[in-house]
């Protein structure tokens, strides 16, 4: 049984600055987490593979392997791809934010108050628990969306089934939209329902994830409603 099952979520804290890492470890422990630490990306991946945490808090600028590479490696591992990743960075700018989301991060924060970081971490874990309580399988059009395995099966016209795999947030956005075909959701509503009201991400986050879903699934399922948001088509 992992620590979260006993009420204590585990978190892997990754930063090459020891003073920051010590502060994060102290504050997360005081907030009820069970922390482990890593000082570079390679060490972080090794620890995550041996003892998968409930959450990863990840610096970007690190030696040997930066945070973007670590995040992509986590998303490429079937056992680890569903773990929430919160990126922490001293870098600024929308391009950096989008690069983090493209790598598969769930949220992206500047290095700021540790209390803000912990609040964000708790919000990500609450979102995971809410989604775990929702229906595990969804059949719509030629798709079967299996939340237990985070895989989407598409049935071809010849009856053959193809498995498509998505990073966690892309999958959850698709699952949410497909659960209400024909309904239009604003970007703000999608951020609230998929990421959580307390998670600090910009509305462009939704656009990035829709684009990446379309790259894998095709453009015909999720439609842009100009000036409003997105909807999953009721009839193909």
23 and 105 in a common domain: yes
Q: Which residue, among 78, 27, 74, 25, has the nearest Cα to 46 in the 3D structure?
A: 74
- Give backbone dihedrals phi and psi of 209, rounded to 5 degrees, phi first: -70, -35
Residues 19 and 127 in one domain: yes
Query: What CATH number is attached to the domain comprising 226?
Result: 1.10.10.10
This prediction's pTM: 0.62
Whether residues 158 and 114 share a domain: the answer is no
Q: How far apart are CA 23 and CA 32, in angstroms?
A: 15
Q: Would you say residue 29 has pLDDT above 70?
A: yes
Choose the most confident range, by mean pLDDT, from 65-69, 100-104, 115-119, 181-185: 65-69
| Residues 82, 12 within the same domain | yes
Statement to judge: residues 144 and 95 lie in one domain: no
- Of 98, 132, 166, which residue is a domain's last? 132
Q: What dihedral do alpha carbons 116, 193, 233, 172 form, nearest 10°?
A: 70
pLDDT classification of 200: cutoffs 50, 70, 90: low
Assign 195 a pLDDT band (cuts: 50, 70, 90): confident
Same domain, 159 and 124: no
225 and 168 part of one domain: yes
**Pair 89, 146 in one domain:** no
Q: Which residue has the higher pLDDT, 95 or 49?
A: 49
Residue range of the domain that includes 182: 137-232
What is the tens place of the pLDDT at every residue in 73-126?
998 887 888 888 998 877 665 566 677 777 778 887 877 778 888 888 887 887
Rounded distance between C-alpha atoms, residue 53 and residue 80, angstroms = 9
127 shares a domain with 141: no
Please write the tens of the pLDDT for every residue from 168-179.
Answer: 889 989 998 988
How many structural domains compose the chain? Answer: 2
Query: Which pLDDT does position 132 carry in this prediction?
Result: 57
Whether 26 has a pLDDT exceeding 80, the answer reads yes
Q: Are residues 75 and 156 in the same domain?
A: no
């Amino acid at each position: 049984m992992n620590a979260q099952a006993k009420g204590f979520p585990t978190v892997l804290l990754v930063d090459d600055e020891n003073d920051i890492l010590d502060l994060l470890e102290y504050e997360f422990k005081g907030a009820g987490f069970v922390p482990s630490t890593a000082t570079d990306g390679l060490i972080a991946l090794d620890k995550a593979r041996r003892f998968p945490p409930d959450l990863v808090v990840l610096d970007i600028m690190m030696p040997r392997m930066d945070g973007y590479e670590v995040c992509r490696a986590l998303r490429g591992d079937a056992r680890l791809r569903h773990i929430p990743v919160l990126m922490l960075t001293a870098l600024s700018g929308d391009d950096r934010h989008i690069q983090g989301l493209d790598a598969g991060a769930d949220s992206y924060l500047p290095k700021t108050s540790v209390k803000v970081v912990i609040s964000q971490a708790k919000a990500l874990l609450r979102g995971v628990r809410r989604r775990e309580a929702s229906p595990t399988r969804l059949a719509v059009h030629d798709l079967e969306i299996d939340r237990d395995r985070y895989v989407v099966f598409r049935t071809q016209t010849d009856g053959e089934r193809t498995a498509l795999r998505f990073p966690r947030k892309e999958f959850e956005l698709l699952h949410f939209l497909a659960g209400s075909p024909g309904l239009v959701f604003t970007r703000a509503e999608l951020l609230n329902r998929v990421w959580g009201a307390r998670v600090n991400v910009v509305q462009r986050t939704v656009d990035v994830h829709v684009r990446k879903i379309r790259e894998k699934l095709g453009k015909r399922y999720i439609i842009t409603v100009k000036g409003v948001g997105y909807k999953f088509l009721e009839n193909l």
